Structure 1
Amino acid sequence: MSSRRTVDLPDPAFDTGYRDAPQRVGFFTDTSVCIGCKACEVACKTWNAIPEDGLTFTGMSLDNTQTLGASTWRHVAFIEQRTPLARQDPGDMRGTDVLARLGEPGGTEVGDFRWLMASDVCKHCTHAACLDVCPTGSLFRTEFGTVVVQEDICNGCGYCIPACPYGVIDQRKEDGRAWKCTLCYDRLGDDLEPACAKACPTDSIQFGPLQELRERADTRLAALHAAGVSEARLYGRDPSDGVGGDGAFFLLLDEPEVYGLPPDPVVTTRDLASMWRHAGAAALTLVGGAAAAFLATRRSR
């Protein structure tokens, strides 16, 4: 993590002013090997001293927290699907770590039920709208390229909440301040991996330099496709998407909407510059019109 940055992809830390920053780091979450143990949720809460939540029965399968929030910085989703499993030759075991498939000769469809499990988290976007709208500087970009909320500076305005295209940030009812994943910023400074990745028993949550994670994800996706898991896809990996790529991206086994993720996220402040230009032009037009009216009135007198 101490190796220096390479300028081959957008580097938000460099753009923010860190000229000698470490490589950008992040998460690659491979949902195909998530077992839903929630060790990441527990580790996140323990390390960051996050208040308890999700202690009531929701009726949403085993998903007791339901969504990310001010007191849920890691959320493990449990998605039940009544759908045929993918075809696979029983002699080809390359995909057995995905769904523990059992096939018949010729690769017939088996089963009509599956669980999709995925540990969600703040995406630490390359173009983060929450940073654009924060009036106090509570939200800032770290030298690792991550986005952190300084709760002692947050004034509770809530502007960052609708600005986030993923619905990650939330306010605590007790004090109104905004909270979200910090990617364990305090641990990064000591060359430690975030608590959730450290606790994950299957390496579903992988932490490291973002470019290295992207290459690892590409290799994993190719292996799954070769194993017949054609529905596998990467989400948030592409630097040319609507948020410039995510600092926390995922390998999914179905459409993003199935996991509660927007299919085409876009930084919500992308039009701010043009809006200000139009507002400025309109203001100048009004001033010019008022001045012309004033001069016309004086001449008539």
Structure 2
Amino acid sequence: MGFFTDTSVCIGCKACEVACKEWNAVPEDGLEFTGMSYDNTQGLGADTWRHVAFIEQSKPIGQNETGVDHGAVEHGTFEHGAAPGAGGMRWLMASDVCKHCTHAACLDVCPTGSLFRTEFGTVVVQEDICNGCGYCVPACPYGVIDQRKGDGRVWKCTLCYDRIGVGQEPACAKACPTDSIQFGPLDELRERAALRVGQLHDLGVEDARLYGHDPDDGVGGDGAFFLLLDEPEVYGLPPDPVVTTRDLPSMWRHAGVAAAALLGGLAAVFAAHGREGGAR
């Protein structure tokens, strides 16, 4: 199970952020002037499990080389994507979340078993087991996991494990008024996402592309993937994420070979020393 977030219909209402905080009792972030348009939460963290980004651009959505906006002509509006602002500006709005990686480095490095894979394929932190070591923080290729100040333990999206366990959809998806956030079996979501990209391309929105949907990517595919209207870097996402612990098996093999060679050398030294002692 997982998320498909279609950013082309996100309206930036932040209902998902509020629903996530309410259901999971996530502390408020504090009202700070960030200088990031109308976004007061900056990014994902221990106290922000869903974050809606506002990205301002001077590129009208769906505009091709002739300057004709096929999406606007088709619908008489800028329905697909964020609304245009003054001077030809547009907002790209996107609700980000933990990716629930198929090959999750956070699981590999956790020494206590606090992080575990659920029966739904999602990754959850058990806060009562977390010892606050922080190993998982740099291991995450997306920079999602964060330690809470004054607490030390890590916190992140659980994909509402308690809700989906009783047949309910996650709070953020339930609250989304435009179905930008969709929840369900990943195979079905990938099919739906591919159809949506094709629809947008037919409307002239040639920049539409999927991110995190490919099971053959550097993390084995994400349990939360996205339809984007620009390059991943524009949204603050790494273009080619790779599980940071991918070399651990080979490293352990090399370490084992080295240890065996060392033990073999020591054994040879002791054996030779024993022979010399016997000769005396």
- Using structure 1 for the length normalisation, give the TM-score: 0.85
User: Measured at CA, do residues 198 and 240 of structure 1 come closer, stay the same or move farther in structure 2, by a change above 3 Å?
Assistant: same
Note the alpha carbon deviations across 1:10-66, whole angstroms, 9 max, x for none.
xxxxxxxxxxxxxxx111000011111100000000000001104111111112111
- For 2:273, the aligned partner's letter is T
**Aligned counterpart, 2:127:** 151
Aligned partners of 2:81 and 2:92 also within 8 Å: no
Instruction: Determine if the alignment matches structure 1 residue 93 to structure 2 residue 75.
Output: yes
TM-aligned CA deviation for residue 294 of structure 1:
2.4
TM-aligned CA deviation for residue 159 of structure 1:
0.9
**Aligned counterpart, 1:26:** 2
Instruction: Determine if the alignment matches structure 1 residue 197 to structure 2 residue 165.
Output: no
Instruction: Determine if the alignment matches structure 1 residue 206 to structure 2 residue 188.
Output: no
Name the SS for the 2:55 alignment partner.
Answer: strand
Match runs of 1:114-153 below 5 Å: 114-153=90-129
Instruction: Determine if the alignment matches structure 1 residue 224 to structure 2 residue 197.
Output: no
**Aligned counterpart, 1:20:** none
TM-aligned CA deviation for residue 91 of structure 1:
4.7
- For 2:196, the aligned partner's letter is R
Taking the aligned partners of 2:54 and 2:138, their CA distance within structure 1 comes to 25
Note the alpha carbon deviations across 1:256-288, whole angstroms, 9 max, x for none.
011010101111111111110000001111111
TM-aligned CA deviation for residue 191 of structure 1:
0.8
Taking the aligned partners of 2:73 and 2:80, their CA distance within structure 1 comes to 15
Aligned partners of 1:123 and 1:249 also within 8 Å: yes
- For 1:239, the aligned partner's letter is P
Structure 2 unmatched ranges of 5 or more: none
Instruction: Determine if the alignment matches structure 1 residue 164 to structure 2 residue 140.
Output: yes
Tell me which stretches of 4 or more aligned residues in structure 1 moved more than 6 Å: none
Name the SS for the 1:98 alignment partner.
Answer: coil
Taking the aligned partners of 1:69 and 1:176, their CA distance within structure 2 comes to 13
Instruction: Determine if the alignment matches structure 1 residue 260 to structure 2 residue 236.
Output: yes
- For 2:245, the aligned partner's letter is T
Aligned partners of 1:95 and 1:227 also within 8 Å: no
**Aligned counterpart, 1:18:** none
User: Measured at CA, do residues 285 and 178 of structure 1 come closer, stay the same or move farther in structure 2, by a change above 3 Å?
Assistant: same
**Aligned counterpart, 1:73:** 49
TM-aligned CA deviation for residue 93 of structure 1:
3.1
Note the alpha carbon deviations across 1:89-131, whole angstroms, 9 max, x for none.
46533984214889xxxxxxx9631111100000111111111
User: Measured at CA, do residues 95 and 283 of structure 1 come closer, stay the same or move farther in structure 2, by a change above 3 Å?
Assistant: farther
Instruction: Determine if the alignment matches structure 1 residue 183 to structure 2 residue 173.
Output: no
Identity among equivalent positions (%) equals: 78
User: Measured at CA, do residues 298 and 99 of structure 1 come closer, stay the same or move farther in structure 2, by a change above 3 Å?
Assistant: closer
Note the alpha carbon deviations across 1:130-162, whole angstroms, 9 max, x for none.
111111111111111111100001011111111
User: Measured at CA, do residues 94 and 267 of structure 1 come closer, stay the same or move farther in structure 2, by a change above 3 Å?
Assistant: farther
Name the SS for the 2:4 alignment partner.
Answer: strand
Aligned partners of 2:10 and 2:82 also within 8 Å: no
Aligned partners of 1:95 and 1:229 also within 8 Å: no
Comparing 287-296 and 28-37, the one that deviates more: 287-296
- For 2:93, the aligned partner's letter is M
Taking the aligned partners of 1:95 and 1:165, their CA distance within structure 2 comes to 37
- For 1:27, the aligned partner's letter is F
Aligned partners of 1:147 and 1:182 also within 8 Å: yes
User: Measured at CA, do residues 219 and 241 of structure 1 come closer, stay the same or move farther in structure 2, by a change above 3 Å?
Assistant: same
Note the alpha carbon deviations across 1:162-220, whole angstroms, 9 max, x for none.
11111111111111001000000111112111000011111110111111111110000
Aligned partners of 1:171 and 1:178 also within 8 Å: yes
Structure 1 unmatched ranges of 5 or more: 1-24, 103-109
